Structure 1
Amino acid sequence: MSVTTTTATDHKPDNNSATKLSGKHRMITAFTFFSMFFGAGNLIFPPLMAAQAQSATIPAALGFIVSAVGLPVLGVLAVASAGGFEHLASHVSPRFAAVLAFVIIMAIGPCFAIPRTATTSYEMALTPFIGENNRLALFLYSLVFFVIAFLLSLHPEKLTKSLGRIMGPLLIILIAVMFITCVFVPHAPLGAPNSEYAHGALLKGFINGYQTMDLLASLYFGIVISANINQFGVTEPKANHREVRIAGGEAGVLLVVVYAVLSFIGAISGSIRSVNGAQDTGATVLTNLTTSAFGTAGTTFVGLVFIVACFNVCTGVLSTCASYFEEHFPTVAGHAVGYKQWSAIVAIFSFIVSNAGLSAIITVSLPVLGALYPIAIVLVLLYMAERPFSSKFPRVYLWSVVLVAVFTVFDCLVRLLAVFGIELTTVSNFLASLPLYSEQLTWLIPAAAGIAIGIVDGILRRGRKTDAGRDQ
């Protein structure tokens, strides 16, 4: 593996290795991490949620922050402690770890997340001025978008120079301008929450946090962050892992502050002009506010914010995916394929998918995310409870994850078939009748059952080993 994709575990301690980052380098690394996380979804979901929640914005925002910040930070901590996502997932089985790792990389990379960065920024920055369904404009925009992202991704260990020092701080400045605008724009008092947030706003906000995909991304972003920390001189494995955890925590603090600000912005915008949750998006909420304050210039401003946010995430995820493919598929059909080649392949594939349009990408991605997110949550939470619980009953990994996967994958297939016009009415009605299905939390039942079975399985296995020892 080349220097650009080397993780901390690939280095041996040496006398020249630093034991920790300087304060300046920690700040830059945290901004880099933040920039990789914070993309289009992060920017549009909190304002839309708050515009609908209105007076219930605080509990809704708290729920969102738990799932959109708390879970990804736990993911960073778990993966850093385990020495990589596949080591973590190997608690279920090595083969399962390899399959799940590939599926997650494809989801957060060339199939959904990377193409979405181009299409979302296009629709926010250009569509208001040139109209919808302009295929040629989308083609040209996405082409330029991915060429620039590819060039920056060629040196992932140097992302701190572009994302950490320039793009991340610029994004925060742009959001701060919107916040200051909210403080001075006249608005009515916050209204009553709509029906979805009138009851259970905390839980609704928690589920909305899934849509950022940050938990899945956190399982691999540590690869790139570790490489950047290596460049700052912290190459000793334990010290490097510690700095990855610190960077994840500091990025989490930044995300909490920004989500709180965006929720405030959304609540104020919703009090100025109501939104339709079934038709409008968070982009509409932001545009309503900036247009009210600045007119057409406001629309241009929001488009700029989206381009910066989407470009940050695209570059970071492109680097992450290329690093993964270089490590796991160094040769294809007998030919060596390095980091640069994989980066180009991922960029080209993402470019092709992006031209399907934002609506098609989101429609297909939602069922897949609904399958992957619960599996990731169970894995991360079990590992965080490793010392007090999971290490004593290691079979809980297998049983809980497999049972959750069986349910979520089956549900995903049913939803995907519906997307393509194949309705399994009887099956869909059965799923809808299950507890917590409308809240998208039915997976908690197989998770709890798997943990219980895993505990019993572990006790029985220990009993058999004890009996075998006595017989000898």
Structure 2
Amino acid sequence: MANTVSNAPSEQTAEPRQDTASANSRGDAQGLSATRLNGRHRLVVAFTFFSMFFGAGNLIFPPLMGAQAQSAALPATIGFIISAVGLPILGVLAVASAGGFEHLASRVSPKFAAMLAFVIIMAIGPCFAIPRTATTSYEMAITPFVGENNRLALLLYSIVFFALSFLLSQHPEKLSKSLGRFMGPLLLVLIAVMFVSCIFIGHGALGKPFGDYANGSLVYGFVNGYQTMDLLAALYFGIVISANISQFGVTDTKANRHETGIAGAGAGILLILIYAALSFIGAVSGSIKSANGKDDTGATVLTNLTTSAFGSIGTAFVGLIFVLACFNVCTGLISTCATYFENTFPTVFGHPVKYRAWSVFFAVFSFIVSNAGLSAIITVSLPVLGALYPIAIILVLLNLVEKPFSSKFPRVYFWTVLLVALFTIFDCIVKLLAVFGLPMTSVSRALATLPLYDAQLTWLIPAAAGIVIGVIDSAIRSRHQAK
């Protein structure tokens, strides 16, 4: 997930304004707006779409999946692509068609929309995504040279990392003109180099899948795709993509949605190719040196491969790329979260709180969380994402059937989201207590007996019940209103 939530529109400003002017002049003459983008503009929008999703975090999960799935890497990758590519693109389309995330979530209730927005911002910001940028870059750039579990090195590195990121976040427009334009291509070149190296590097045959991938690799790949957090980010990106397309002159609603779909397809193809390559890289790396799913991460898997292929020089180069990429993402996310909080909470306990104060808070908060280490952040984030993702999936899917179904039975939004949230949040609490050493053994055992629980898809049952209840409730309310 990249940092262009706040920067993407500004990067497009100069050129789109010129095109918009010409498009508007044509529209004034003909009484119509443009109905399609030309090929060059479609490519620009598709790459903008791609850059908004792809950050350093997206680099670390497919390799670990491939390292553990081994010979079952293909079905695991398919499952991962469904949740890490398909769902986010559907999310962008859903938000664009709804006119913004707030409008989409308000179909449940306005208070729910505000609460969910807050939780998502915290998840893709200071609780998980921002700290992960420091720990990921540390593991790629520093760990190979100072060794594992060097807490002092992580502390010093994260202090410098967040201090510099905070300073640069005060001028985000300069970031988009420097790092933002080069890091995407550099990361793509890096992946291509590693992929080609895997074809020619000597390695043994892929082994049997182990860990969670020993059984049901496709399903676990799907669940592991939650870790990219891209569906949650897509709930904010959709309106940005739609606005960028409008800047090119396509203001007609139907045409705009069509172009959003084309841009999403282009970005999706890029993501599919890259995730497939990263999964293959991870599988090859795992055949060279086995990865421990509890202690190792995708960063470790990539380091194992680059060290084997290029030695310390290659590892240092890869580490430098990760530092720059993570720094870029971190700076953008700090500015995004600070902007959101400045607009949403302009005062705290009666005192005004400006952008700079919020950015200080998020930098310090993220620094503290980052020193828990990458493995700890991932371990804690998975139950939380397991609670949020089903809710987001329900909102997106109900929006996709808005005209033929959801609009006729509007109460399905409330009941489906309510029942799904009750289950996923309760399950999240139980898992988090276990992570922090307070297991509810009897409750965990009871949950484990539920259908589809091992596949982490039990939420489909309350979702189905919510749809049925929502249809009945809507029908009853409709009859009362008719009377």
Q: What does residue 87 of structure 2 align with? A: 71
Q: Does residue 1:168 correspond to 2:172, yes or no?
A: no
Q: What does residue 298 of structure 1 align with? A: 314
Q: What does residue 291 of structure 2 align with? A: 275
C-alpha displacement at 1:133, in angstroms? 4.3
SS state at 2:203 partner: coil
C-alpha displacement at 1:339, in angstroms? 4.1
Q: Does residue 1:362 correspond to 2:407, yes or no?
A: no
TM-aligned CA distance change 1:140 to 1:274, over 3 Å: closer
1:4–1:155 CA contact under 8 A, matched in 2: no
Whole-Å separation in 2 of the counterparts to 1:67 and 1:50: 16
TM-aligned CA distance change 1:153 to 1:361, over 3 Å: same
Which letter maps to 1:429? R
Which letter maps to 1:67? S
C-alpha displacement at 1:76, in angstroms? 1.3
Whole-Å separation in 2 of the counterparts to 1:434 and 1:302: 44
- Partner residue of 1:87 out of 103, 115, 124: 103
Whole-Å separation in 2 of the counterparts to 1:5 and 1:187: 41
Whole-Å separation in 1 of the counterparts to 2:307 and 2:167: 34
Deviation string for 1:415-452 (max 9, x for gaps)? 22222322222212111111111211111111111011
Which letter maps to 1:332? V
TM-aligned CA distance change 1:73 to 1:41, over 3 Å: same
C-alpha displacement at 1:402, in angstroms? 0.3
Question: Which ranges of structure 2 fall in alignment gaps of 5 or more residues?
Answer: 1-5, 13-19, 25-33
Aligned length: 460
Deviates more, 1:163-172 or 1:32-41: 32-41
Which letter maps to 1:319? S
C-alpha displacement at 1:365, in angstroms? 2.1
Which letter maps to 1:367? P
C-alpha displacement at 1:286, in angstroms? 1.7
Whole-Å separation in 1 of the counterparts to 2:460 and 2:407: 21
C-alpha displacement at 1:6, in angstroms? 8.8
Whole-Å separation in 2 of the counterparts to 1:229 and 1:333: 40
TM-aligned CA distance change 1:112 to 1:370, over 3 Å: same
Whole-Å separation in 2 of the counterparts to 1:458 and 1:142: 52
- Partner residue of 1:144 out of 160, 170, 192: 160
Q: What does residue 446 of structure 2 align with? A: 430
Q: What does residue 414 of structure 2 align with? A: 398
Q: What does residue 303 of structure 2 align with? A: 287
- Partner residue of 1:450 out of 466, 473, 481: 466
Which letter maps to 1:111? C
Deviation string for 1:116-160 (max 9, x for gaps)? 111121122112212344444323322332344345544556765
Deviates more, 1:19-28 or 1:422-431: 19-28
Deviation string for 1:388-427 (max 9, x for gaps)? 2111111110001000111111111222222232222221
Deviates more, 1:423-432 or 1:439-448: 423-432
The normalised TM-score by structure 2 is 0.85
TM-aligned CA distance change 1:331 to 1:295, over 3 Å: same
Deviation string for 1:22-43 (max 9, x for gaps)? 7556545544443442334321
SS state at 1:277 partner: coil
- Partner residue of 2:207 out of 175, 191, 196: 191
Q: What does residue 182 of structure 1 align with? A: 198
Which letter maps to 1:194? F
C-alpha displacement at 1:386, in angstroms? 1.0
SS state at 1:295 partner: helix
TM-aligned CA distance change 1:190 to 1:130, over 3 Å: closer
Whole-Å separation in 1 of the counterparts to 2:155 and 2:211: 39
Q: Does residue 1:55 correspond to 2:71, yes or no?
A: yes
Q: What does residue 39 of structure 1 align with? A: 55
Matches within 5 A, 1:173-322: 173-194=189-210, 196-222=212-238, 238=253, 247-322=263-338
TM-aligned CA distance change 1:120 to 1:15, over 3 Å: closer
Question: Which ranges of structure 1 fall in alignment gaps of 5 or more residues?
Answer: 9-13
Q: What does residue 17 of structure 2 align with? A: none
SS state at 1:193 partner: coil
TM-aligned CA distance change 1:304 to 1:21, over 3 Å: farther
Deviates more, 1:344-353 or 1:168-177: 344-353
Q: What does residue 481 of structure 2 align with? A: 465
Residue identity over aligned pairs, in percent, reads 71
TM-aligned CA distance change 1:317 to 1:17, over 3 Å: farther
TM-aligned CA distance change 1:135 to 1:47, over 3 Å: closer
Q: What does residue 120 of structure 1 align with? A: 136
What root-mean-square deviation, in Å, do the aligned CA atoms of Structure 1 and Structure 2 show? 3.2
Deviates more, 1:381-390 or 1:418-427: 418-427
Whole-Å separation in 1 of the counterparts to 2:207 and 2:349: 61
TM-aligned CA distance change 1:137 to 1:21, over 3 Å: farther
Deviation string for 1:157-203 (max 9, x for gaps)? 67653465211111111111111111211233333333643543221
The normalised TM-score by structure 1 is 0.86
